[in-house]
Structure 1
Amino acid sequence: MAYTVREEPLGSTRHIRIVGIGAGASGLNLIRTLRLNLVDYELVVYEKNEDVGGTWLENRYPGCRCDIPSHNYQFSWKPKHDWTNFFAPAEEIGKYLCRICDEENMRESIKTLHRITAARWNEKEGLWQLSVRNLKTGHEFNDYANFLVDGTGILNNWKWPDVEDIHAFQGTLIHTARWPKDFDPSGKTIAVIGNGATGLQVLPELQPGANKLYHIIRTPTWIPPPRIQSWKIMGQADRILEKVQLDQDEKFSEETIEIFKSDPDFYRGFIKRVEAEVNSTFPIVLTKNPIQAFARQKVAEYMTAMLGGDESLCKALIPDYPLGRRRMTPGHAYLQAVVKPNVEIKTGGVRRFVAEGIELESGEILKVDAIVCATGFETSFCPRFPIIGRNGNLQDRWRSEVPKAYMSCAVDGVPNYFTFFGPNAPIGHGSVFTLSEHIAKYITGIIKKCQSEGIKAVAPSRDAVDDYFEHISAFMPRTAWATEGRSWFKGGRNDGPVTALHPGSRIHFFHMLERFRGEDWEYVYDGAKQNRFAYLGNGYSTKEIDPDVDSTWYLDSSAVV
């Protein structure tokens, strides 16, 4: 078959359809990034919930808040000047996301109460064939996409604890991700299972009203001092908190909020300074770095002081493993609550639930009125619906082998499929808002390349994914994340590969995504001849044909590459 010149100028784009999954922070940022960078496309984002916001719509348990400073837990392109607290509560973050959606007219691209139930790659057409269910009506219909972008997130699919007879309990059974609005802890005997971030936040909210509160923990967790106190220890607070007034609950004063609103230079400087401090924590998790030993000593001293030196509490709650093996979460109020007389710590696992409460592995039975499961989320990275690519169902593949992805964003053998915060993303490194901005730009750049260079299908090569994973596996033993012990960083396993974190700092991840490594990818081109240069077209450029484009732009270009 003879090759023929495509009768279109260089820079021409083909019309494409993009389907996004999830309208949390990642999904909203995807909508904006596509708008700014693409033309000649259509987009729909399917969201299973009744509104946007993702995890900040779903998680509304008492005390729920972010553990990243508020002014850095926002989009760089949509600053909020009136955050009420240094660590924003869930409801305020949820309202921020809804406001963005409305102000940026994003709802026209989002279909709420819709869930994708299956996705199958059609190699011949270069399309994803999708099954979608309307959760309001139950009707299921078909859709298609040239590109499928998964923004469902990792901390979104909540799970009950893995114990026997979970539904045998006849009292009130609660998971923190499905908190009942009418639950009143007053006068009740309550068991809280789990001491991750959620457990640390919910327990001090329940403690004052509860008659008795059992806290069941399997592994102690490091609880650092309040962020501001830590900065004081390190001698950084004066630079960060100049003019900033906070009360004992870390709420900003009205005067401080007014300064944020009226002094853009100070506001910008404050954000950048706090961001720099958040980014600077990576050396702590490097086990041979002297900062690890210093920080561990200081955190142990802080926890000991907060626990009043109580020997049994210190033994139960202060870890003996490296700082950072599990996610560190501020828990000043938690440490204040666990020393109260109505709180009792129970170490060890749960054997099963019984009608009147919980049977521990020790054989002890705790009789309670309510059980609160702060037991987290499914973190295996296994998709929640069949994603059938060139090599079968990704669900089957990731159930039988370690989940691997290319720079956390794409999977070999699964063309035109991209994901936010896939395997080995920097989910524990800082604000997901800023991270999602960089990931969205990276994904959008690849889609734009395909749209304008005649590429029908693109996927990372298996060799590239394997090489990337080889680097991850060699790097992780340097970190506390890889040390022995259960954590969601390792999919809940005691040992094994770290699948939930990036092999480097937050800045390292940003730097890595700055340039697209085309040599790591496999391409299928439009046309039977599969000529990679067919996109060069008829000799003209859209930059000289489009009257709105400066055809002598190169005279203004910088010489810096």
Structure 2
Amino acid sequence: MDPTKEDAIYNERFVRVICIGAGASGICLAYKLKRSFTNFSLTIYDRNPEIGGTWYENRYPGCACDVPSHNYTYSFDPKPDYSSVYAGSKEIRSYFEDFVSKHDLRQFIHTSHLVTRAVWVEEKGEWTVEAKSLVTGQTVKSVCDILIHATGYLNKPAWPRVSGLGDFRGVKLHSADYDDRVDLKDRNVLIIGGGSSAVQILPAIQPIVRRAKIIVPTPSWMLPDISTETSTFTPDQIKEFVKKPELLMALPVYMKNTALQNQAKALLESATREILKEYDMVDKLIPDFSVGCKRVIPSGFQFLRTLQEENVSVIHSAASSFTSSGCITEDGQHHEADVMICATGFDTSYIPRYPKPSIMGYMGVGISGFPNTFTLLGPYTPVSSGPTLVAVEAQSDYICSFIDRYQTEPVHSMTVRPSICKEFKENVAKVMEKLVWTDNCRNVHNNGRIGSRVPTTWPGSTLHYLEAIREPRWDDWDFQYRGNRFTWMGNGISQTEMVSTTDLAYYIRQQDNSPLLSRNARNLAMAKMGSQSARELHRQAKLSPAKTNKTTNEETINNPRLEATNRD
């Protein structure tokens, strides 16, 4: 009797995958699975009526990416025809919609489905998932071998933690769940917050509102205006981006007291003072923490100029309570408004919307105590030190390596060890002492509270993360098997022998093209060592203090190359 495919080594069993979230992470995973796997099913649930995640939900005035648009793509699917340096939310969502259509991923996605329950069934080694259709109200039950959380970290609006929020009788909006049907023309608007969203909202609404007040409890570092009228790319520029993708690369600044950090701080302070030289409280808009501790804001100089418009007022305080007609700040002042926009960020506790306790993360992808479960953009992902999407790709590759092992070995469950998560977090805390996210500021990675926890961003650069996650550390995980773990060996037949078009003598080669055997050699090969001219390490020659004369300063602050010294 002839051998069957099931007799071959590493025979693939059918694997069922459920992913929660159809944003940038979820659709990247779908692409990776469709590209490399055949014997699988994938179901993606998303509570929104359309894909896009963050870029579907964020619709506030002026909403745009705060990463240079050419860096906000998948590495294998560039978009050289982005219209501006910082693309608007609609253009970014269009990129993801086109990606889904191009790669036929819509077949996996179930929109308007809110996951309400997920239960691990140990005896069967599977997850039972319940999702409620927000269209019909019916609950759909499904089962999977692998459960993946791709809900992101910016998906739960954080309202101000002060009393009386429900007492306000005017229109109440949140930047993360904005109702774009509200007409702001000739209204008195109060914006609470001085972070990225508030900085985009104020210049967008200032020309149409009667009066705008903005409560800025703490300042942020601002970057030059390169997404205003000077930001639109010409056809020739777009062609140049296609020819020379290296023009889109950039460097991060994330370590305390380095030469690069000090250069960036001096330049941004100098430029801010130049813009606000007639503003009587300029010191209140100069942060006392490292550049990068709190999210650095692109095109912030436009915001600084808007603060000086006649119909704009700045309150350098914090909201302490709300009333039926407005807000009382900590300085005792009452501020009335018709419309209140809370640009107060997100809850980054990483607790899912369906009932689950707080989780202990592992390298952005693992969750202690949750078998056969992974996260995309989970705790300790490098969301502040480089392009987010390349990290998503690396995490998708990492997860797929576990799915591959599950599919080709008799694995019952895979769980990151609790002791490993504890050690990992301890090491992160030690390294974080040297990095900007533990400086004296409130940021999204410590859930908006100074000293409340170890920041949940990656303790290093994005390149550092890519090297750390490229090869799984299998011994950090606890693998349980069904029966004899060596049944993956099959009955002595190779996979090569089961495919009629393979070369049975493939191992005879004309040259040694085998994988490099040391991790360092593999990393340097991946990084194309020797392909670039030598550079001075940990320096950025283009950073220098802004000059005080008007012409030189304008040239400096409108130089998009400055962005290369910061986040992406």
**Could you say which residue in structure 1 is the equivalent of 2:406?**
450
Distance 1:441 1:268, change over 3 A: farther
After superposition, give the CA deviation of every residue in 1:63-99 in whole Å (9 maximum; x if it has no partner).
1001111111111222223211011100000111111
Report the alpha carbon displacement of residue 206 of structure 1 after superposing the two structures with TM. 1.1
Matched, 1:254 2:207: no
Return the alpha-carbon distance in structure 2 between the equivalents of residues 252 and 464 of structure 1.
Answer: 48
Superposed structure 1 runs of 4+ greater than 4 Å apart: none
After superposition, give the CA deviation of every residue in 1:240-271 in whole Å (9 maximum; x if it has no partner).
xxxxxx973401123333x25xxxxx5252x3
Return the alpha-carbon distance in structure 2 between the equivalents of residues 483 and 543 of structure 1.
Answer: 56
**Could you say which residue in structure 1 is the equivalent of 2:514?**
559
Report the alpha carbon displacement of residue 483 of structure 1 after superposing the two structures with TM. 1.7
1:288 to 257, 280, 287: 257
**Could you say which residue in structure 1 is the equivalent of 2:242?**
267
**Could you say which residue in structure 2 is the equivalent of 1:131?**
130
Task: Give the gaps of 5 or more residues in structure 1.
Answer: 1-5, 228-245, 261-265, 387-394
Return the alpha-carbon distance in structure 1 between the equivalents of residues 370 and 412 of structure 2.
Answer: 13
**Could you say which residue in structure 2 is the equivalent of 1:502?**
458
Matching of residues 332-343 of structure 1 within 5 Å: 332-343=301-312
CA contact 1:63–1:201 (8 Å) conserved in 2? yes
Return the alpha-carbon distance in structure 2 between the equivalents of residues 85 and 489 of structure 1.
Answer: 28
Could you say what the CA RMSD is over the residues aligned between the two structures, in angstroms? 1.8
Return the alpha-carbon distance in structure 2 between the equivalents of residues 419 and 494 of structure 1.
Answer: 26
Secondary structure of the residue aligned to 2:415 is strand
**Identity value in percent:** 30
Report the alpha carbon displacement of residue 303 of structure 1 after superposing the two structures with TM. 0.8
Task: Provide the TM-score with structure 1 as the length reference.
Answer: 0.87
CA contact 2:387–2:462 (8 Å) conserved in 1? no
Matching of residues 462-481 of structure 1 within 5 Å: 462-481=418-437
Report the alpha carbon displacement of residue 51 of structure 1 after superposing the two structures with TM. 0.7
Matched, 1:485 2:441: yes
2:287 to 319, 324, 344: 319
Secondary structure of the residue aligned to 2:222 is coil
**Could you say which residue in structure 2 is the equivalent of 1:419?**
375
Return the alpha-carbon distance in structure 1 between the equivalents of residues 236 and 364 of structure 2.
Answer: 42
CA contact 1:482–1:497 (8 Å) conserved in 2? no
Matching of residues 311-390 of structure 1 within 5 Å: 311-312=280-281, 314-330=282-298, 331-386=300-355
**Could you say which residue in structure 2 is the equivalent of 1:532?**
485
2:478 to 522, 528, 531: 522
Report the alpha carbon displacement of residue 7 of structure 1 after superposing the two structures with TM. 6.7
Return the alpha-carbon distance in structure 2 between the equivalents of residues 548 and 453 of structure 1.
Answer: 25
Residues 316-325 or 39-48, more deviating: 316-325
**Could you say which residue in structure 2 is the equivalent of 1:234?**
none
Matched, 1:149 2:148: yes
Distance 1:498 1:19, change over 3 A: same
Amino acid paired to 2:397? K
Task: Give the gaps of 5 or more residues in structure 2.
Answer: 517-568
**Could you say which residue in structure 1 is the equivalent of 2:43?**
44
Matching of residues 29-40 of structure 1 within 5 Å: 29-40=28-39
After superposition, give the CA deviation of every residue in 1:181-227 in whole Å (9 maximum; x if it has no partner).
33232222111001111011001111112222111011111112246
Report the alpha carbon displacement of residue 546 of structure 1 after superposing the two structures with TM. 1.8
Amino acid paired to 1:384? R
Residues 23-32 or 428-437, more deviating: 428-437
Distance 1:115 1:554, change over 3 A: farther
**Could you say which residue in structure 2 is the equivalent of 1:206?**
205
Secondary structure of the residue aligned to 1:449 is helix
After superposition, give the CA deviation of every residue in 1:137-194 in whole Å (9 maximum; x if it has no partner).
1111321110001110001111322221112112111112232233232222111001
Return the alpha-carbon distance in structure 2 between the equivalents of residues 509 and 421 of structure 1.
Answer: 12
CA contact 1:424–1:498 (8 Å) conserved in 2? no
**Could you say which residue in structure 2 is the equivalent of 1:103?**
102
Residues 496-505 or 320-329, more deviating: 496-505
CA contact 1:160–1:375 (8 Å) conserved in 2? yes
Matching of residues 117-196 of structure 1 within 5 Å: 117-196=116-195
**Could you say which residue in structure 1 is the equivalent of 2:495?**
542
Task: Provide the TM-score with structure 2 as the length reference.
Answer: 0.86
Residues 66-75 or 425-434, more deviating: 425-434
Return the alpha-carbon distance in structure 1 between the equivalents of residues 71 and 259 of structure 2.
Answer: 27
Return the alpha-carbon distance in structure 2 between the equivalents of residues 463 and 171 of structure 1.
Answer: 50
Matched, 1:301 2:270: yes
CA contact 2:383–2:457 (8 Å) conserved in 1? yes
